[in-house]
Amino acid sequence: MVDVVVAKFGGSSLADKDQFIKVKDIIESDKNRRYIIPSAPGKRHSRDHKITDLLYMCHQLATHGLNFDEVYNVVEERYTGICKGLNLNLNIEDNLREIKEEIKGGASRDYCGSRGEYLNGLMLSSYLGFEFIDPKNLILFNDRGQLEEEKTEMLIGEKLKDVKYAVIPGFYGAKENGDIVTFSRGGSDVTGSIIANGVKARLYENWTDVSGFLMADPRIVENPKPIEVITYKELRELSYMGAPVLHEESIFPVKKHGIPINIKNTNMPGDMGTMIVDDQSYVSTGSITGIAGKKDFTVITIEKTLRNEEKGFLRKVISVFETNNIDIEHIPSGIDSISVIVSNTRMNGKFEKIKEELRIYCNPDTITYDANMALIAVVGRGMIRTQGISAKVFTAMKEAGVNIRMITQGSSELNIIIGIENEDFDTAIESVYKAFEND
């Protein structure tokens, strides 16, 4: 591991000239920040537009043969405004003109979407005096649009070996034939992680507009405490259950070499932020790390006497959901019954069909259905070795008058999942947070 820091800056961190100035100060305050990954300019205020959204809109209009000048003007103004504001010695107008011609000429959706990062990268490299490296020569995708992990790792190692300081736009790479491919939305986080892994960085910094993760959703709990340290696995559990900030897939590349990710706030660089660390290097605090949850799940309960003795029963149930393309979240079970929990959006009006198929394949005694469940995940690596955590969770809920419908504990003993009525969602999260707030 070398003393190199890869720093990714999100859209709001590079939304205008003033944000660029903050970013430069941050980068120059630590000479180990050597590889910088920018997103496209994001929103400057809540009613503003993200450049990526505008570029996709241009592509959409162009594919229908419609004029997209008005939308593209907004894109142009944003870039030329930043260039002028920073006095950059860069003819961004030429690049903008070229891209417009490409869009008119039928450029692909991925190409159009990626230009937000490309142009921002050009500006940032000129502003910092860092080399510009186009990720189309570093991040490689196969013909099916999947990342070629090993080849990419090799390319990064080779090409960055002798480059001391560089700006590498986020969000995209290319196929061997040069066609641009983007990650899913928010994918610059993934680029940062891939570069950090490729250069075996000591640290991957992810600069955004919040000071890291919070123990609970601030729309539900007033002033929740920040999470200082969290493991990769804990983060997966929390983000899966609805705590956003980082692209889900950005954990995997850095995980290979246990490189930590530090979520930092561009507007408050002095805040510690959240450190996401390797699962082994975490010291348990003997408490919980965070609480997250989602509403609107359906529980389908299938009862059949002696179902535990019937071979293949579970397989048949699961295959009904599989053939209907419905992902299963949890399967709590009893001796004579099992419940299948799926999200309402996945279920999407298919209940009658599912019921019919279950009846044919599984011949159950009864099938019942309830589409009003919320799930809450209480996550903490310390749980496995600490007595009394679940007692505290359930006592808090009881005292708040929340009726618990289901409990499952993840097999890694990292979380407890609790099913409650949708209406109790906020009360449940608040009561659990309060119980652990001062641990």
Which positions touch ligand ASP (CB under 6 A)?
Answer: 11, 39-40, 50, 52, 116, 170-171, 185-189
Tokens 């499952």: give the residue: 408
Q: Which is nearer to ligand ASP, 164 or 185 (CB)?
A: 185
How far is it, in rounded angstroms, from Cα 111 to Cα 126? 22
Least distance from ligand ASP to the Cβ atom of residue 413, Å: 33
DSSP H/E element including 435: helix 425-436
How far is it, in rounded angstroms, from Cα 421 to Cα 71? 44
Q: Which is nearer to ligand ASP, 39 or 337 (CB)?
A: 39
CB-based contacts of 402: which residues, under 8 Å, 6+ apart? 420, 424, 427, 428, 431
| Three-point CA angle 116, 118, 121, nearest 5° | 105
Least distance from ligand ASP to the Cβ atom of residue 135, Å: 12
Instruction: Output the residue with the shortest Cβ distance to ligand ASP.
Output: 188
Q: Which is nearer to ligand ASP, 11 or 290 (CB)?
A: 11
Q: What are phi and psi of 408, to 5 degrees?
A: -140, 150
Q: Which is nearer to ligand ASP, 84 or 185 (CB)?
A: 185
How far is it, in rounded angstroms, from Cα 437 to Cα 288? 9
Least distance from ligand ASP to the Cβ atom of residue 51, Å: 7
Q: Which is nearer to ligand ASP, 265 or 319 (CB)?
A: 265
Least distance from ligand ASP to the Cβ atom of residue 335, Å: 48
Least distance from ligand ASP to the Cβ atom of residue 293, Å: 25
Q: Which is nearer to ligand ASP, 75 or 373 (CB)?
A: 75
Least distance from ligand ASP to the Cβ atom of residue 344, Å: 26
Label residue 15 exposed, middle or buried (CB < 10 Å: 0-12, 13-18, 19+): buried
Least distance from ligand ASP to the Cβ atom of residue 117, Å: 6
Helix H segments across 204-255?
232-240, 251-255
How many contiguous H segments (helices) and E segments (strands) does the chain have? 14, 16
How far is it, in rounded angstroms, from Cα 172 to Cα 183? 6
Displacement of CA 299 from its chain's centroid (Å): 26
Q: Could you tell me if 292 and 238 are in contact, meaning their C-beta atoms sit under 8 angstroms apart?
A: yes
Q: Which is nearer to ligand ASP, 125 or 188 (CB)?
A: 188
Least distance from ligand ASP to the Cβ atom of residue 247, Å: 7
Q: What are phi and psi of 111, to 5 degrees?
A: -60, -50
Q: Which is nearer to ligand ASP, 183 or 232 (CB)?
A: 183
